[in-house]
Amino acid sequence: MFVIGSGAQHLKKEIEGSAKIINVEIKKFPDGEKYVRILEEGEEATVIQSMYRPQDEHIIEAILIGDALRERGYKRVRIVVPYLAYSRQDRVTKEGEPISVRAIMRMLGLYYDELYVFDIHNPKTLEFFPGKAENVSPAKVIAEYFREKLGDGVVMAPDKGALERAKSVAEILDLEYSHFEKKRISPTEVQMTPVDVDVKGRNVLIVDDIISTGGTMIKAANLLRELGAKRIFVAATHGVFAEGAIERVSNAVDELAVTNTIPTPVSKISIVPEILRL
């Protein structure tokens, strides 16, 4: 039994075929405030709400849906968040700042028993949620999308921190994996070197959690090309994409594909099979 928020409408059609969707009315008052109404009774519900732009609106809507479900008598309420906004604001860097992701988790915890987030920036932050919280890996759907195209290629992480993700994808495909080492050579320049892997004449898939400006991926792809890589594919879970990033990355690689945690023109990999398994 799913309730689909405005941030997950792009997933509705695919979910509809396989699961029951609870009817909900969502609209905006003329002053801009949100209105939600749950139109069916029940015991258990799983809300799906992705929190991309307008982030704050999607967050408030998730809170209102949670409150409405409780008010309507739902006993067990879960939320699946394909993209969790504020997840990168996970520590105080200057005195006086909030730990924004903690604030969001605590708010969701007022209404939801369980939280499922796709590829959260820092899995440790799930501990801020008072109930059961899980990081959902998109490795399987990414791996299956690239299986044929990649052949016996290599899976690369753009940095050491992203290695686990690349490893998960590589293990599903039974392929070699590695990562780039990043070395700061000046305040504005970072040097990247692939570690212990020969990419000459081989297809390479670079996998990261987020693509924003595309700078990281373009740099990695250019380097792979210089080293003689054959076809270069780029994948990420969340296509946050700054202005012009899709074009810039697409021009630098053979194919760019992200999952549909955020709807974008290159969200070719669906996370719906993973949602239906939760």
Q: Which residues are catalytic?
A: 182
Q: How many residues bind ligand R5P (CB under 6 A)?
A: 11
Between CA 110 and CA 116 the distance in angstroms is: 15
Between CA 266 and CA 151 the distance in angstroms is: 21
> What minimum distance in Å lies between the beta carbon of 125 and ligand R5P?
13
Letters for 196-235 (x = contact with ligand R5P by CB under 6 A, - = none) are: ------------xxxxxxxxx-------------------
Contact status, residue 257 vs residue 269, Cβ threshold 8 Å: yes
> What minimum distance in Å lies between the beta carbon of 241 and ligand R5P?
8
Site for ligand R5P in 159-198 (CB under 6 A): 162
> What minimum distance in Å lies between the beta carbon of 133 and ligand R5P?
20
Smaller CB separation from ligand R5P, 93 or 148? 93
Task: For residue 146, give both structure tokens.
Answer: 């690239």
Smaller CB separation from ligand R5P, 45 or 170? 170
Q: How far is CA 33 from CA 5, 36, 58, 260, in A?
A: 15, 10, 12, 27
Site for ligand R5P in 143-162 (CB under 6 A): 158, 162
Smaller CB separation from ligand R5P, 172 or 190? 190
Q: What is the DSSP letter of 260?
A: T
Give 218's contacts (C-beta < 8 A, 6+ positions apart). 248, 249, 252
> What minimum distance in Å lies between the beta carbon of 252 and ligand R5P?
12
> What minimum distance in Å lies between the beta carbon of 246 and ligand R5P?
11
Contact status, residue 267 vs residue 260, Cβ threshold 8 Å: yes
Smaller CB separation from ligand R5P, 96 or 187? 187
Smaller CB separation from ligand R5P, 4 or 170? 170
SS3 call for 75: coil
What's the burial of 60, exposed, middle or buried (CB within 10 Å: 0-12/13-18/19+)? middle
Interface residue list for ligand R5P (CB under 6 A): 158, 162, 208-216
